[in-house]
Structure 1
């Protein structure tokens, strides 16, 4: 924690410097607010319009949580199945990699056609965004299991379930959480993209309405909340990782 406080002031200083330059440039060159609003205007808009967009934030948070839980659960279950069934891994792993070459935004119109404008296509988009990082990271974690310990447990007469729960799963947990942290940031982005499909509330809807009315300050407010939500979600996963993986050695910096 002490090291974090000692090093954490540098990015904060850079951020304050960039915001100051942005503010001064907007005032000196008199940049129109519809083109590039000053940070002070963005902050004032965020405070004054809180009652107008707070329900949008809550809607995006709810959608993000549902999609993330479904995507992460399905990703972990898929990774476990591909790990414990080698024939299934050989048959599906390549298809899993190929499927990620299809952008999710391309599938969005098809999901609307198939499932309508309800909440289901939006949850599917978020789940698809979260699924791949978790599945691939978990599989990589299973591959990194210590072979000496694995050989020792088999010589001691341990069954497949004992090997999995006592060795392979704990060894894969750091990789699982790495995938969860990546998916946590992607999930907010996926929620905003899914809301562009025709939702009636959400940060994506608020951003679209602000953009169509040339309220660039509100667009920046939306971007700011997307960043904040992503960072909070990422921090929550990091906290859960520290609580669950106490045996993981700390890095020396």
Structure 2
């Protein structure tokens, strides 16, 4: 009974809205996607025009055809290395999310824990990962582990900071109301605090998704015999700019794919949030 009343109260009196149909969601997706798609198409055309006109030497910036040709010439090579980096990125991201959420809960639950951990987290974030990456290679070897650890370190900070902010953003009156209604701490957390923290959490997850890709590639720069970082370093040493650009392009697409996955998960978990309603779109003057 208490859980039901808390759920109704946390909705702030807003009537539940039915989920939009497939056509509505598709229209909303197209509305959001056409502008960035047009921008990317414009950048691609500009890239093609600049290289086709010979304004930049091919050994500096290869043409789109040469870049795509480098991928199609060695599809297995790029596929195997992409899978390696994707594995390191995804696993590092998942571990960072799990540790970050748990750490945030402990930090919000105890002021002593927050005052103890926060300086350490800030110190770990400030230290350049490229500077400490060789240490992880020495300590953990040349396998997947050091790359995953660096990906975790890169993605951890935005997760824990956004989660702490979300858990603290709840209106104190809501907490007082839950206490007067006899809610237990666990009920208050799952019915009020955690749902209220989700918008902040997913903001941090979107940042962490891109940071995890960077962390995995940084680890591969230091010591690896596979992965997109290895592809980029090898191409740089051979002055093979088409392969280098191909590796960079795939790395960007991998980050975008993980970002889109987080956005899809956000829409699945938070259909009730204002940002997911059709009438919440901002109007332009």
1:13-55: per-residue Cα shift (whole Å, max 9, x none)?
3333332232222232264322211112112222222122211
In structure 2, runs of 5+ residues without a counterpart are 1-25
CA contact (8 A) 1:177 1:237 kept: yes
The 5-angstrom pairing of residues 1-12 of structure 1 reads 1-6=26-31, 8-12=33-37
Residue 76 (structure 2) aligns with: 51
Supply the distance in 2 between the matched residues of 1:14 and 1:245 (Cα, whole angstroms): 28
Taking structure 1 as the reference length, the TM-score comes to 0.93
Q: Which residue of 2 aligns with 1:90?
A: 115
Alignment of 1:48-197 (within 5 A): 48-197=73-222
Question: C-alpha deviations, 1:66-107, integer Å up to 9, x for none?
Answer: 111111111111001111122211222233223321111111
Structure 1 gap ranges (5+): none
How many pairs are equivalent?
253
Give the SS at the match of 1:11: helix
What is the distance in 1 between the residues matched to 2:219 and 2:181? 51
| Backbone CA RMSD of aligned residues | 1.7
Q: Which residue number in structure 1 is paired with residue 48 of structure 2?
A: 23
SS in 2 for 1:100: helix
Q: Could you tell me how far 1:6 is from its partner in structure 2?
A: 4.0
SS at match of 1:199: coil
Counterpart for residue 246 of structure 2: 221
Q: Please name the residue that 1:208 is paired with.
A: 233
Structure 1: distance between partners of 2:186 and 2:35: 48
1:198: how far off?
A: 1.6
Aligned counterparts of 2:86 and 2:163: Cα–Cα separation in 1: 25
Tell me what 1:252 maps to. Answer: 281
Whether the 8 Å CA contact 1:59–1:202 is kept in 2: the answer is: yes
Mapped partners of 1:103, 1:40: distance in 2: 36
SS at 2:126's partner residue?
coil
Alignment partner of 1:196: what SS?
helix
Structure 2: distance between partners of 1:130 and 1:112? 19
